[in-house]
Structure 1
Amino acid sequence: MSVDTSFGRFGRKALQSLAGVVLIAFHLLVRPLRRWRTSWGATAAEHERPLPGDDLVPNASWGYTHAIALDAPPTEVWPWIVQIGQGRAGFYSYQELENLVGCRIRNATDILPRFQTLRVGDLIRLHPRAPALTVAIVEPGLCLVLYGSSPDTGDANIWSFHLASGPDTTTRLLARGRGSHGASLPSRLFFGPALMEPMGFVMSRKMLLTLRRRVSR
């Protein structure tokens, strides 16, 4: 029974990862959906609202604001946010897909006490071999801003999470990404909107939907 259960879980995750690949390919090709992708789940006001960390990438060439309502107060959502990272709790997204490119991630299904403290200057990795993001702002229960840049190429980006109390002890969670790229062709290709914006949408949407299931559980 345990073997069958494990195989079933693997099969479901494999199918989810395949769905993630299909979604990324679809959104890479369908540019007319860009407006919907960059503001998925967010109101017009949330999409346009200045948020902490935006000034770290003042001349962004791409960006998004995704949002979701969670059936738990911010104090119960924050522990899930603060523990994200490669080698930590993962990203609650397409785990097998991320591991196909060597991320070595295992998404946590519980709150992990050893990863509940972050300080400005701490490093959060997305991939074992990729440059880490730096914790630029951390306000427990309110926001987490991760920042990365490459002076050599001119690339810069933020990945941030913002929590606000909603009605009836719910949480409004906003995930924002902003990035700029350098002048070189590789920089425009790999850090420009054509690639990063569709990929960011697929992975971010999956993350937020998984978080909704985790916290409501």
Structure 2
Amino acid sequence: MTALARVGATAAILLATRQFFRNWGTTKAECAMPLPGDSLIGQPAVVTTEGITINRPPEAVWPWLVQIGQDRAGLYAYETLHTLAGLDYHDADRIHPEWQHLAEGDTVRLAPRGWLGFTDGIVVTVAQIQEGRSIVLRTGGGESFWDAVWSLNLAQQGDNGTRLLIRTRVPLRRPGAVVGAELIAPAKAFVTRAILRGVKHRAESEPARNHPL
């Protein structure tokens, strides 16, 4: 009974706190709207959509998204904490022309080889890409235990603004994966907010006006 009580208490706490970290910075309409990559996981158990308004047009934001990656421009979020965690991120503060090419099937590294015992680190695959609009990244895929879809989406707002939406979808496939996704959700939301703010800061800064050659 004690074990069941602890599980119940943990579940209650998670349910009570979800509202504070899920769907940060987005409207109900944005959470409900279809986005690229949604069809890859048709019956998700976990869906989050987080967003931010950037006072620059999409073409000024896109170069920052294309170059993300642990071995490229980083994730623009809490570099010091990531370094302490052994992630070895070096977040870029300018657009790098050599990192502006991303295509379907390419991989994006999120953690270095050997990190926390993962032989190959953490690598996601570009499942879909729409130039200037969206990047859909997938972990695992198929029947993988850790299957999930992470999409970064840009939408024009007004004459000179952009909405950046980041959506995560985890399939209803294995209870353990879903529970794991819920347990790490607060940390993921914390990092996602930092990514959104990091992209906004860079895109709105003076260096962001220098388009890659």
Give the TM-score range, shorter chain: 0.7 to 0.9
Which residue of the partner structure matches residue 162 of structure 1? 153
Which whole-Å CA distance do the structure 1 matches of 2:171 and 2:95 have between them? Answer: 33
Alpha-carbon contact 1:155-1:180 (below 8 Å) kept: no
Q: Which runs of 5+ in 2 are unaligned?
A: 1-12, 114-120, 206-213
Partner SS state of residue 39, structure 1: coil
Q: What per-residue deviation string (whole Å, max 9, x for no partner) do you get for residues 164-187 of structure 1?
A: 1111311111111112476475x4
Alpha-carbon contact 1:155-1:181 (below 8 Å) kept: no
Q: TM-score, normalised by structure 2?
A: 0.80
Alpha-carbon contact 1:153-1:184 (below 8 Å) kept: no
Residue 68 of structure 2 is aligned to residue 84 of structure 1: yes
Which whole-Å CA distance do the structure 2 matches of 1:93 and 1:188 have between them? Answer: 25
RMSD over aligned CA atoms reads: 2.0
Shift of 1:122: 0.3
Q: Which structure shows the bigger proportion of residues in helix conformation?
A: 1
Q: What per-residue deviation string (whole Å, max 9, x for no partner) do you get for residues 107-147 of structure 1?
A: 00111111001010000011012241000111121100001
Identical-pair percentage? 35
Q: Which runs of 5+ in 1 are unaligned?
A: 1-28
Residue 197 of structure 2 is aligned to residue 209 of structure 1: yes
Structure 1 ranges of 4+ moved more than 3 A: 150-153, 180-185
Q: What per-residue deviation string (whole Å, max 9, x for no partner) do you get for residues 81-122 of structure 1?
A: 000011000001111222222211100011111100101000
Alpha-carbon contact 2:136-2:150 (below 8 Å) kept: yes
Counterpart selection for 1:40 from 24, 31, 44 = 24
Which residue of the partner structure matches residue 22 of structure 1? none
C-alpha distance 188-117 of structure 1, shift in aligned 2 (>3 A): same
Aligned runs of 1:122-161 on 2, under 5 Å?
122-129=106-113, 130-149=121-140, 154-161=145-152
Which whole-Å CA distance do the structure 2 matches of 1:101 and 1:198 have between them? Answer: 17
Residue 178 of structure 2 is aligned to residue 192 of structure 1: no
Count of residue correspondences: 186
C-alpha distance 152-176 of structure 1, shift in aligned 2 (>3 A): closer
Alpha-carbon contact 2:43-2:172 (below 8 Å) kept: no
C-alpha distance 44-151 of structure 1, shift in aligned 2 (>3 A): closer
Q: TM-score, normalised by structure 1?
A: 0.78
